[in-house]
Amino acid sequence: MNTREQWGSRLGFVLAAAGSAVGLGNIWKFPYMTGQNGGGAFLIIYLALVFTIGLSVMLAEFAVGRAAQRNPIGAFAVLKGKLWPIVGFLAVLAAFLILSFYSVVAGWTIAYIVKMASGALVGGADELGAAFGNFISDPVQPIIYHALFMGLTIAVVLGGVHDGIERACKVLMPLLFILLLVLIGRAVTLPGAEKGLEFFLMPDFSKVTAETFNGALSQAFFSLSIGMGAMITYGSYLNKKENLGKSAMWVTSLDSGVAVLAGLLILPAVFAFGFDPAAGPGLTFITLPAVFAQMPGGTFFGVLFFALLTIAALTSAVSLLQPIVSYFSDEKGWNPKIAAVVAGVVIFTLGIPSSLSLGVWSDFHIIGEKGFLDSMDYVASNILLPVGGILITIFVGWIMADKMKEEVTNNGEKSFPFLGAWLFICRFVAPVAVAWILVSGL
Ligand code: PHE
């Protein structure tokens, strides 16, 4: 019996997985993290981690998912059992936590399309900073946009893997690339943009600290959507003929390509208008609107930009909901549509305190000085994803190596030139390096 849904084509799968990877992590987080961590040096460390550890973890997840044809918890149960399903459980937990705050921030991007289009975003960085602060601390408005975004996410997942997720990504991902290229064309031709390009592309290693590595690693995991079972789930809908290594290479390259392009878009614009690249999370919502306000055609480009962010966030959010849906339908026999709605509503509810933590509940701290949203992000991105990555690579490298070798070579039919390197990274490099970076960051 094999009634599991499958992707329609290799392209559809790659675009869906790239849709998962490319998101707020690339366009919102990556440029400001680069700005805070010294520009080019961060970029080099980031790319080095992505194409060694990141790529290997992604391939490991594809292999586990396709071998098992199950959701993350079920996958570890059918492949090995014992305590291993706990890894899948941590993965599904991470999906819940991440989606709850991800949807809040994604809601802001929808709000900013509206604000941009209605001409509400005028003034310099100070005024726009105040406007942003007022908006996110409002107890009602951001929650409405959060609900709207969750509704869109549920709607795509309700369509199913093939007719919902794959079809949406096949339209939205090319659109995203086009929008990105149009915007970059605008940004790099601004007078003074060269300074931003230089900052982004010329490494200054004197700014590198242990924190740089820590930031680059958690960013790599978050951006590639690895360590939490999204790629296990997407891999589980793959047919047995697809070349896993090639697909992982494509998805990783597209994801880092978009991160680099986002850097090329945002940093030149920020420098051209003399703003601070180290402005942090506000870079996208404060500094950029200030740039758009001064730029010829700014309203038009501003609306395009926030539409781009919403699209990128949506194709990622569906990959956070789908592992949960597939768990409840594979293991508990739920109708997937009911699972999508129930999980979506629970996650929406969990997101409410995240949104309120930026306003009325800002005095309420969970971890150290961190409010609810920052605590969710910290637990998920800095702990659950790296721990998930360590356990998945140990599983593939040590526990199931023979079966996984068969899986990535399609039972010996496809040669995979990096087999030895991949297993070596899964066995030694990834667990040790990730554990080391994780511990040094605590
Ligand atoms: N990779 C997505 C981004 O960069 C976020 C994400 C993380 C999606 C984990 C799925 C799983 O925005």
Distance from residue 431's CA to the centre of ligand 1 (Å) = 21
Q: Which of 358, 355, 357, 350 lies closest to 143, judged by CA?
A: 355
Closest approach atom of ligand 1 to CA 222: 7
**Strand, coil or helix: 209:** coil
Instruction: Please give the Cα distance from 196 to 269 (Å, whole number).
Output: 7
Residue position matching structure tokens 């290693």: 205
pLDDT value for 257: 96
Could you tell which of 316, 321, 384 is best to mutate to test the pocket of ligand 1, judged by most ligand atoms within 8 Å of the CB? 316
**Taking Cα atoms as reference points, which of 209, 199, 187, 238 lies closest to residue 63?**
238
Cα 21 to averaged position of ligand 1 atoms, centre (Å): 5
Q: Which of 384, 352, 355, 329 is nearest to 157 (CA)?
A: 329
The dihedrals phi and psi of 370, each to the nearest 5 degrees, come to -80, 135
pLDDT in tens, 294-352: 888 889 989 999 999 999 999 999 999 999 999 999 999 999 999 999 999 999 999 99
Assess whether pLDDT exceeds 90 at residue 108.
Answer: yes
Contact 146, 134 (CB under 8 A): no
Per DSSP, 27 falls in state: I
pLDDT band for 76, please (50, 70, 90 cuts): very high
pTM for this model (two decimals): 0.95
Atom of ligand 1 nearest to the CA of 224: 1
Q: Tell which atom from ligand 1 comes closest to the C-alpha of 28.
A: 12
Answer whether residue 282 shows pLDDT above 90: no
Q: How far is the CA of 415 from the centre of ligand 1 (A)?
A: 30
Average pLDDT over residues 176-191: 89
pLDDT for residue 217 is more than 70: yes
With CA atoms as reference, report the closest residue to 248 among 262, 232, 228, 260: 232
Closest ligand 1 atom to Cα of 26: 4
Closest to 303 measured CA to CA, from 103, 121, 104, 105: 121
Ligand 1 centroid – CA 161 distance (Å)? 18
Tell me how far the alpha carbon of residue 20 lies from the centroid of ligand 1, in angstroms. Answer: 6
pLDDT-derived band at 1, boundaries 50, 70, 90: very low
Cα–Cα distance, 1 to 5 (Å, whole number): 12
Q: With 80 as the cut, is the pLDDT of residue 3 above it?
A: no
Report pLDDT digits (tens) over 359-414: 989 888 888 888 899 899 989 988 999 999 999 999 999 999 999 999 999 998 88
DSSP string, 324-389: HHHHHHHHH---HHHHHHHHHHHHHHHHHHHHHTTTTTTT--SBTTB-HHHHHHIIIIIIIHHHHH
Report the range out of 142-156, 167-181, 261-275 with the highest average pLDDT.
142-156
Amino acid 408: pLDDT: 94
Ligand 1 mean position, distance from CA 192 (Å): 33
Under the phi-then-psi rule, with left for phi > 0, alpha for psi from -120 to 50, and beta for the rest, what region is 296?
A: beta
Residue nearest to atom 11 of ligand 1 (CA): 225
Ligand 1 neighbours, Cβ below 6 Å, are: 20-21, 23-26, 98, 222-223, 225, 228, 230, 316, 319-320
Q: What is the pLDDT of residue 6?
A: 95
pLDDT at residue 306, rounded to an integer: 94
Arithmetic mean of pLDDT, 178-205 = 89
